[in-house]
């Protein structure tokens, strides 16, 4: 499994890197608070995924919504 290393004030934390359903990469910070005194801040929830899903993919900036890998526009036409 790939990992990302976060270093703060000479303290190092290894965090897993996961791959999403559309091959996007994410750093799993779910254990950061347990491993350290740190949490993260993401104003406006701009760079955060809330869950893993093999069913739905959303990219709001690009206007992409897929259901099981199929564009929602294609499904809506059927």
pTM above 0.85, yes or no: no
24-to-10, 12, 67 alpha-carbon distances in Å: 29, 24, 16
The domain tally of the chain equals 1
- Mind listing the pLDDT tens digit for each residue in 33-68? 999 999 999 998 888 888 888 888 888 888 999 998
Enclosing domain of residue 25: 3-77
pLDDT at 61: 84
Is 78 a residue whose pLDDT tops 80? no
pLDDT at 17: 97
Mean pLDDT of the chain: 90
Residue 17 DSSP SS3: strand
């Amino acid at each position: 499994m790939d990992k990302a290393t976060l270093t703060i004030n000479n303290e190092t934390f290894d965090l897993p890197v996961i791959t999403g359903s559309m091959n996007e990469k994410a750093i799993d910070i779910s254990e950061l608070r347990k491993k350290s005194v740190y949490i993260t801040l993401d104003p406006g929830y701009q760079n955060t995924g809330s869950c893993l899903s093999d069913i739905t993919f959303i990219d709001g900036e690009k206007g992409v919504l897929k259901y099981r890998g199929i564009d929602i526009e294609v499904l809506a036409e059927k």
